[in-house]
Amino acid sequence: MRPGWDEYFMEIARSVATRATCPRATVGCVITRDHRILTTGYNGSPRHVAHCTEVGCMVVNDHCVRTTHAEANAIVQGALHGVSLAGSVAYCTHQPCLNCSKLLISVGITKIIYETPYPDRIAMDLLSEAGVALVHFATLEGARP
């Protein structure tokens, strides 16, 4: 059976997540517009910095600070390659955290479709205030895990 667009892009986000280099979470993000992939990102260390899988995680307040989140990496790819993300949709394997939500708002993402809940009331409130739709993938018609 041919997948719908949401299922197709979420499957690609899952595949992108397999590149993650922090063992605490494997997260992937695909940013699209008009059914075209603009950028992808996964959680991993910044350029020229050792990855968690090589030297271990750097944990502060129960968060790995060595790792850049998947959504932020997808946004950085747009910036590095001159790709505007305004008016686009982000497909994320995990619900974006507060900082990633703010970045997604700032670049003009209009909708975020996520698979794994990571509920953050402040992030959800800011996304709502900014008019960014936050959609749990499981609620979409035809969505398959």
> How far, in Å, CA of 57 to CA of 51, rounded?
8
Active site residue 71: yes
- In 3D space, the residue among 2, 7, 10 whose CA is nearest the CA of residue 40 turns out to be 10
The neighbouring-strand residues paired with 41 are 29
Burial (0-12, 13-18, 19+ Cβ within 10 Å), 141: exposed
Given 7, 11, 54, 71, which residue is catalytic?
A: 71
> How far, in Å, CA of 118 to CA of 48, rounded?
29
Q: Which active-site residues does the annotation give?
A: 71
